[in-house]
A and B are shown apart, each in its own frame.
Chain A
Amino acid sequence: MTTDPVPLLPRGTRLHHDRVRDTMVLLVPERALLLDDIGAAILREVDGRSTLGAISSRLAERYGAPKADVASDVRDFLDGLAGQRLVDYQ
C-alpha cells in the first residue's frame, strides 16, 4: 500500500440517506452505521479515484480547517472502517 492510498467502498457497503431518521447511514453487511456530519462528509468524498490526500485537501478547504488535522481525522476514520473490511485501500 502506498502512503497516499485511494480508499473505496467495496461491494456490499453503501452510503444511504435514511429518510425516516433524516440522517446519512453506511449500510454494510448485516449492520447499519448511523453517521454524524463529519463521517458523512468524509464518505461522500470516497469515490474510488481520490487519494486520502486529495480527500483531505477538499475537506480542509470546504470547512476552513488545517489540512494536517483534517488528514489525520480522515485517516483515523477510514482506518477504523478498513479494519472492519468496510473500506478498502488501493
Chain B
Amino acid sequence: MTDRPAPPIAMLAELTHRCPLSCSYCSNPLELTERTRELTTEGWIDVFRQAAKLGVLQLHLSGGEPASRRDLEILVKAARDAGLYVNLITSGIGLTPTRLNALETAGLDHLQLSLQATTADKADWIGGYRGSFARKLALAEEVLWRGIPLTVNAVMHRHTIDDVRTAIDFAANLGARRIEVACVQFYGWALVNRDALLPTRAQVVQAKDAVAEARLAYAGRMMIDFVPPDYYADYPKACMGGWGSTGINVAPDGTVLPCHAAATIPGVVFDRVTEKPLSAIWYDGAAFNAFRGHAWMQEPCRSCARRDHDHGGCRCQAMTLAADPTATDPVCRHAPARPAVDHILEQQAPSVSPFIYRGSKR
C-alpha cells in the first residue's frame, strides 16, 4: 500500500456474545467469547471515543444480544457524547419499557429489530426460545408508540424465504421505515447449518419477484433493501465495500477485525484495542493491510475490470470454499473454484436437515 487508506465510516461493536436466542445462522464465531473476557464499560467508552476521532460516523451496537449488557444505556450515552450516530441491533429480548426509556434519554438514534419469522411457532423454533416472538412484538409496540426510528431485519433462508412478502407487510405494520430482507450468508454457524438453510434456486427467483412487487407497493412508505444469497449470483458481493475500506468491527474482547468473520482466516494476526490505539490498528495493522489494494489479488481478479467494484469478493468465502483467502471469491462465474459452489447447489438435499443451534454463553 502506498496511499494512506481513507478513515472508516462505520463500526460494528459486538458488545457481547451472550444471547437468549440461539439461531442456527448466528453471525458470531463458533468459538464464543465468555462474559469474563468482555471489555469493561470504560474499555468500550474509550473505543467509541477513539472511533469518533478516527472518522467513524455510524456505530452499530450489536452482539449477541446487546441488551445482555447491563451498561448498554451508559454505552449509548457515551457514544452519542462522542458524536456518533448510535444504532442498536437487537432481538428485542431483554429490552423492557424502562430500559427503552433510558435508551431514548441516552440519545439512541435508531433501532434495528431482527425478525426470525412472522408467526410465533416458527420464530420460536428458529430462535430456539419459546415465547421470544411474543416478547419481540411487545417490544416493537413500545418502539412504535415512542417513535423510535425502526428498521426490521428479516432473515431469509430455506424456511422463511417463501414468506418474504408477509415479512415485508409485517414490518410495515410495525411502523418500520426500512426493512432489510437479508438472505443468510454462509459463515460460522450458518456454514455449519448450510444444508438446512440454503434456499433453492426456485425459491430465490420467487423471492426476487416478491421483493420487486413489494417495492412498488411500498414506494415512498418503506425502503426495502434486499441482500440475495450470493451462491446464486454471477458476481461476488463487494464484501464490506472492500477489506479495510469503510468498516471496522470490534469483538467482545476488543479484538479488531475488518469483518465479523475475518478471524476464520488463518495466518492473519488481529490486534486488540487493549494493546494498541485504534488508529494504528486501522492504518498500520497487519490484518487491515492484508487485503487492501490489488497486490494480494490473483488472476482473474488482478486484471479484471470489476476489481475496484467488488474487490475480488469476500476473503472469508474464498477461504471457506477455495481454502485460499487470496483466491477469487468462488461465487464469481470467472473464479477457478466456481465448480465448488455449483457442486453445493447440485447436492442440495431434497429433505430438510435439522438445525444445529448456536451454543450458548450466558
Residues of chain B whose beta carbon lies under 8 Å from any beta carbon of chain A: 7, 9-10, 53-55, 57-58, 60, 83, 85, 87, 109-110, 112, 147-149, 151, 177-178, 219-223
6 further contact pairs, Cβ within 8 A, besides A10-B177, A16-B83, A21-B55: A20-B7, A25-B57, A27-B58, A30-B178, A32-B57, A85-B178
Contact A29 B178 (CB under 8 A): yes
**Contact residues in B for A16 (Cβ distance below 8 Å):** 57, 83, 85
Contact with B along A16-37 (1 / 0, CB 8 A): 1010110001010111100000
- In the assembly, what is the distance between CA of A84 and CA of B219, in Å? 8
Contact A27 B109 (CB under 8 A): yes
A9 smallest CB distance to B (angstroms) = 11
Residues of chain A whose beta carbon lies under 8 Å from any beta carbon of chain B: 10-14, 16, 18, 20-21, 25, 27, 29-32, 82-85
Contact B60 A18 (CB under 8 A): no
- In the assembly, what is the distance between CA of A14 and CA of B55, in Å? 17
Contact A29 B55 (CB under 8 A): no
Contact B149 A11 (CB under 8 A): yes
B81 smallest CB distance to A (angstroms) = 14
**Contact residues in B for A29 (Cβ distance below 8 Å):** 87, 109-110, 112, 149, 151, 177-178
- In the assembly, what is the distance between CA of A16 and CA of B220, in Å? 24
Which residue of chain A has its CB nearest to the CB of B56? A20
Contact B223 A85 (CB under 8 A): yes
- In the assembly, what is the distance between CA of A21 and CA of B6, in Å? 9
Contact B149 A27 (CB under 8 A): no
- In the assembly, what is the distance between CA of A32 and CA of B178, in Å? 15
With A29-B87, A83-B220, A85-B178 known as contacts, the answer to whether A18 contacts B110 (CB < 8 A) is no
